[in-house]
Amino acid sequence: MLNIGILGATGYAGEELIDILLKHKYARIAYLAAKIDQPDNISSIFPKFKGRIDLVCTEPKLDEIIAKCDLVFLALPHTQSFGIVPKLLKAGKRVIDLSADYRLKDIPVYEKFYKVVHADKDNVKKAVYGLPEFYREEIKAAKLIANPGCYPTAAILATAPVLISGLVEEDCIFIDAKSGVSGAGRRAVNDLMFTEVNENFKAYKVNVHQHMPEIDQELSGVSKKTIKTNFVPHLLPVNRGILETIYFKLKKSADQKQVLDIYKRFYKKEPFVRVLDEGKNPQLKDVVYTNYCDIAVNVDPEKKTLIVVAAIDNLKKGASGQAVQNMNIMHGFAESEGLV
């Protein structure tokens, strides 16, 4: 059994990791920590785990983590991984970091969008971006995984195939993204109160969201061009799920079948990407509580436009599910273990 530690166990991603790992055949949760007033059993913090796990969650202590764990998931607020990652790597542990701290290769861009100072630049170079559909081989050998953001996971999976194909204009990509509220993390702030979100809907951080440079970095990487998308996130009154509708201008006319084939071929061996048949479009209810990314393409040959729709569960494929998928790849387990 692989011994697992989770830091940030009381956030949404941490809670989801516990839920997934309790069903995993080859992993056992050995250590739980979080910013917490006093140590408490995790099944008291989350009564839903009562009868399923009996383990105390404490403030993190490095020597205990090292003594008890083979692999550590970090589900911490941004910048908090910097003090821990170098020590865990030095102690020979493998680390999957769910924060943004090791995702952006361009440090000034990180510092601009997250409005903080980066304090572990060396390890950024070693970190592997944990999107299995593009970096599976690198993930196998990685010591440090930068687990992708929720919005970027859907945006990259939905955009890369057609961008690589060269069919679309590179300077005219509009990503209209809608996310459930758990994507914002467990934070008691006014904007996330029930009465503010329920029966409401809004755009926020129009073209300035911190996930935009992550999308641009990866799309630029796979397409070998400088990609600058337009990215507008919206807050949906649902607990879970992200749906993105992405608008492209075709360089020349193409038809539905042609573009659909590009996607079907691109993902034909992927266990967690489902390209939908013509005439169907994704919806949240088909992907929530699963690790799937559903994708559909809609071509208008006359207007020369392409509209791609993609949906994921922000806590599964968009965070903890993908993190466990990465763990499975790193350790040679079946890639879908614990995830279906």
Which residues participate in catalysis according to the annotation? 150
Q: What is the DSSP letter of 148?
A: P
Q: At what angle do helices 212-223 and 107-114 cross, to 10 degrees?
A: 150
63 vs 190, which CB is nearer to a second copy?
Answer: 190
**What is d(CA 238, CA 148) in angstroms, rounded to the nearest whole number?**
22
**What is d(CA 177, CA 287) in angstroms, rounded to the nearest whole number?**
16
β pairing state of 242-249 and 305-312: antiparallel
- In the complex, what is the shortest distance from the CB of residue 103 to a second copy, in angstroms, rounded to a whole number? 22
- In the complex, what is the shortest distance from the CB of residue 159 to a second copy, in angstroms, rounded to a whole number? 15
- In the complex, what is the shortest distance from the CB of residue 126 to a second copy, in angstroms, rounded to a whole number? 32
Count Cβ atoms below 10 Å from residue 286 Cβ, excluding itself. 15
**What is d(CA 197, CA 130) in angstroms, rounded to the nearest whole number?**
31
70 vs 196, which CB is nearer to a second copy?
Answer: 196
- In the complex, what is the shortest distance from the CB of residue 154 to a second copy, in angstroms, rounded to a whole number? 13
220 vs 281, which CB is nearer to a second copy?
Answer: 281
**What is d(CA 147, CA 112) in angstroms, rounded to the nearest whole number?**
20
- In the complex, what is the shortest distance from the CB of residue 158 to a second copy, in angstroms, rounded to a whole number? 13
Dmax (CA) of the chain: 64
**What is d(CA 6, CA 65) in angstroms, rounded to the nearest whole number?**
9
165 vs 290, which CB is nearer to a second copy?
Answer: 290
95 vs 297, which CB is nearer to a second copy?
Answer: 297
56 vs 238, which CB is nearer to a second copy?
Answer: 238
Q: Are 72 and 86 in contact (CB under 8 A)?
A: no
**What is d(CA 130, CA 153) in angstroms, rounded to the nearest whole number?**
10
- In the complex, what is the shortest distance from the CB of residue 289 to a second copy, in angstroms, rounded to a whole number? 7
Q: 257 phi and psi, to 5 degrees?
A: -60, -40
Beta bridge partners, 33, equal 7, 58
CA torsion, ordered 223, 112, 308, 221, to nearest 10 deg: 10
